[in-house]
Structure 1
Amino acid sequence: QGGRGVLRLKAAAPRGLFYAWQSMVQVLNANRTEDGFSVPVFSIRDVPRVEWRGIMLDVSRHFFTMAEVKCMIDTMSLFKLNRLHLHLTDGPGWRMEIKKYPLLTSMSAWRVPLANGEWNWQEVKLAIQEHDPEATYGGFYTQDQMREIIAYARSRQVTIVPEIDLPGHSYAAMHAYGDLICDGVDFPVEGKKGRDAVCMGRPETLRFVKDVVDELKAVFPPGSPIHLGHDEVSAEAWKKCRYCQNRLKDLNETDLKALSRDFLQQIADYVRKDGYDAIVWDEAGELEADKHIFVMAWRGNDFAAAAARKGHPVILAPCSHFYFDYYQSSAPTEPKAIGGLIPLRQVYGYELPELSPEEASKVRGLQANIWTEYLYDMGLVEYMAWPRALALAERAWSDCDPRDYKSFRSRAALALKLLEKLAVKYRPMDEED
Structure 2
Amino acid sequence: MNAIIPQPMVSTTGEGAFRLHDATVIAAPPALAGVARWLRGALAPPTGLSLPPGPPGPGAVTLALSDGVPAEGYRLRVEPDQVSIVGGDPAGVFYGAQTLRQLLPAAVYRKAAVAGARWLVPCGETTDAPRFGWRGAMLDVARHFLPKADVLRLVDLLAVHKLNVLHLHLTDDQGWRLEIRRYPELTRVGAWRRESMVGSRQHERFDGRPHGGYYTQDDIREIVAYAAERFVTVVPEIDVPGHSQAAIAAYPALGNTGDPVEVSTRWGVSSRVLNVADTTLDFYRYVFDEVLELFPGTYIGVGGDECPKDEWRASPQAQQRIRALGLRDEDELQSWFVRQLDEHLTARGRRLFGWDEILEGGLAPGATVASWRGTTGALAAARAGHDVVLCPDTSVYLDYRQSDRPDEPIPVGTVLDVETVYAFEPLPAQLTGAERDRVLGAQCNIWTEHLASARAVDYAAFPRLCAFAETVWSAPERDPAGFRDRLGTHLGRLDALGVEYRPGTGPLPWQTRPDARGWPKDRATREAEIAAMTAHIAG
State if a TM-score over 0.5 links the two structures.
Answer: yes
AA aligned opposite 1:271: L
Question: Given the two structures, how large is their TM-score scaled by the length of structure 2?
Answer: 0.73
What are the residue-to-residue correspondences of 1:179-194 with 2, within 5 Å? Answer: 179-183=253-257, 194=270
Q: Is the 8 A contact 1:31 1:39 kept in 2?
A: no
Offset at residue 409 of structure 1 (A): 1.0
Residue of structure 2 aligned with 1:12, choices 88, 106, 111: 88
What are the residue-to-residue correspondences of 1:255-270 with 2, within 5 Å? Answer: 255-270=329-344
Aligned twin of 2:379: 305
What are the residue-to-residue correspondences of 1:34-433 with 2, within 5 Å? Answer: 36-37=118-119, 39-114=121-196, 117-118=198-199, 120=201, 136-183=210-257, 194-200=270-276, 202-221=277-296, 223-351=297-425, 352-354=427-429, 355-402=431-478, 404-430=479-505
Q: Is the 8 A contact 1:224 1:277 kept in 2?
A: yes
- What secondary structure, in the 3-state scheme, does the structure 1 residue paired with 2:124 have? coil
Counterparts of 2:205 and 2:236, CA distance in 1: 27
AA aligned opposite 1:72: L
Moved more, 266-275 or 8-17: 266-275
Offset at residue 216 of structure 1 (A): 0.3
Counterparts of 1:28 and 1:345, CA distance in 2: 27
Counterparts of 1:359 and 1:312, CA distance in 2: 9
1:137-163 deviations in Å (ceiling 9; x for gaps): 210001111101101111111111110
Aligned twin of 2:99: 23
Counterparts of 1:175 and 1:194, CA distance in 2: 12
Offset at residue 312 of structure 1 (A): 1.0
- What secondary structure, in the 3-state scheme, does the structure 2 residue paired with 1:172 have? helix
Q: Is the 8 A contact 1:286 1:307 kept in 2?
A: no
- What secondary structure, in the 3-state scheme, does the structure 1 residue paired with 2:398 have? coil
Offset at residue 239 of structure 1 (A): 0.9
Q: Is the 8 A contact 1:85 1:161 kept in 2?
A: yes
AA aligned opposite 2:485: S
Counterparts of 1:137 and 1:348, CA distance in 2: 35
Q: Is the 8 A contact 2:245 2:263 kept in 1?
A: no
Counterparts of 2:107 and 2:150, CA distance in 1: 30
Offset at residue 117 of structure 1 (A): 4.9
- What secondary structure, in the 3-state scheme, does the structure 2 residue paired with 1:85 have? strand
Counterparts of 2:453 and 2:261, CA distance in 1: 30
Offset at residue 274 of structure 1 (A): 2.6
Task: Report the number of matched residues.
Answer: 420
1:213-256 deviations in Å (ceiling 9; x for gaps): 011012112x3311000111111111121111111111022312
- What secondary structure, in the 3-state scheme, does the structure 2 residue paired with 1:41 have? strand
Counterparts of 1:226 and 1:302, CA distance in 2: 22
Q: Is the 8 A contact 2:200 2:410 kept in 1?
A: no
Counterparts of 1:224 and 1:183, CA distance in 2: 35
Offset at residue 362 of structure 1 (A): 0.4
Rg: which structure is higher? 2
Offset at residue 110 of structure 1 (A): 1.1
For residues 360 and 8 of structure 1, do their structure 2 counterparts lie closer, same or farther at Cα, with a shift above 3 Å needed?
A: same
For residues 70 and 191 of structure 1, do their structure 2 counterparts lie closer, same or farther at Cα, with a shift above 3 Å needed?
A: closer
Counterparts of 1:416 and 1:428, CA distance in 2: 9
Counterparts of 1:260 and 1:22, CA distance in 2: 43
Counterparts of 1:317 and 1:72, CA distance in 2: 19
